[in-house]
Structure 1
Amino acid sequence: MQADTLVEQEDQVDAAQAPTQQEEAPATPEAPATTEAPAPKPAKAKATKSTAKKTRTVELTLTVTGTADGEWQADLVHGTKRVVQGLSISAAAVSKAAKELHEDIAGGIDEVIEAARAQHRTRMEELEAELAKVKAALAELSE
């Protein structure tokens, strides 16, 4: 057993002292780098013409503005050209158009129109009260 251990130790010492194969090999000059030709570019696929019709888009911008008094105006722009500016439109037309577009749009516009109606009713009641006072004053002067 001691002989085996002794042989192993000698092998380890020999391995540590022995030069590696890389060190033993004589230095050889590096082989010149071979230049590879650039890889050929893949051929472009031919674009096939589509038989589908191209859709032409038209940019129209319709802006509808309203006041709390219930006055509505429309502006229409085609691309960058103003077609209509400040066109007066009725609240009924706005409400009808909004209902045709979408119920969510109609709901928002109807709220604004209803607020304007309420404001006009209040103003009408005030004017009717004032008219009644003027009629009463006129009646007193006539007697």
Structure 2
Amino acid sequence: MTAPTAEAATSAPGDEEVPASTSEEGTEATAEETPVVEEKPKRAARAKSTAKKTRTVELTLTVTGTLDGNWQADLMHGTSRVVQGLSIPAAAVAKAAQELHPEIAEKIEEVINAAREQHESRLRELEEEMAKVKQALADLGDDA
């Protein structure tokens, strides 16, 4: 058995000459037929999470308050509305905010305090008006 020899591959004018290579079977293969392995840039390896994949439930609770002290809750489960416009007391909102996070509680407390001040101001106005009405009734006398 004779050893295969490597011969230069012929190419068209203007092309570079590429030496031929010999395949494992002993047949001649040109550079065009030889597979080229391109090196791909390595991606940064991600740290594998140890957390188990769990099914998540998407619930969106929207709490809306006014300076009048009226609070409402809307609840969405995914894209379907479960509860809409449910009236809730300000005390319950404040308590829930305390349970969630101090920053949330602070902002909600500011809104509740502003509502409280507005109601106290309105109460003073009404008490003054009531005092005037009582005085007007007293001026008319009970004799009538």
Report if TM-score (shorter chain) is over 0.5: yes
Structure of higher CA gyration radius = 1
* Stretch of structure 1 that moved more, 115-124 or 52-61: 52-61
Match of 1:38 in 2: 35
2:97 equivalent to 1:119? no
Q: Which residue of 1 aligns with 2:61?
A: 62
Within 2, Cα distance between the matches of 1:118 and 1:62? 27
Aligned to 1:78: 77
Letter in 1 for 2:66: T
Q: Which amino acid aligns with 1:125?
A: R
Which runs of 5 or more structure 2 residues have no equivalent in the other structure? Answer: 1-7, 11-17, 19-29, 38-50
**Structural mapping, 1:64-143, within 5 Å:** 64-143=63-142
Displacement of 1:31 in angstroms is: 2.4
Which AA in structure 2 matches 1:129? E
**1:140, CA displacement in angstroms?**
1.3
Structure 2: distance between partners of 1:53 and 1:101 = 25
Deviation at 1:37, TM superposition (A): 4.3
TM-score, structure 1 normalization: 0.66
Runs of 4+ in 1 over 4 A off after TM superposition: none
RMSD of equivalent CA atoms: 1.9
Counterpart CA distance in 1 for 2:52 and 2:108 is 38
State the percentage of identical aligned residues: 70
Greater share of residues in helix:
1
**Match of residue 44 from structure 1:** none
Query: What's the CA shift string for 1:53-87, capped at 9, x where partnerless?
Result: 53000111100000110000000001100001100
Letter in 2 for 1:31: A
Q: CA deviation at 1:38?
A: 3.4
User: How many residues in Structure 1 have an aligned counterpart in Structure 2?
Assistant: 103
Q: Distance in 2 between matches of 1:78 and 1:38?
A: 55
Measure the CA separation in 1 of the matches of 2:52 and 2:68: 48
CA drift of 1:108 comes to 0.3
Shift of 1:113: 0.2
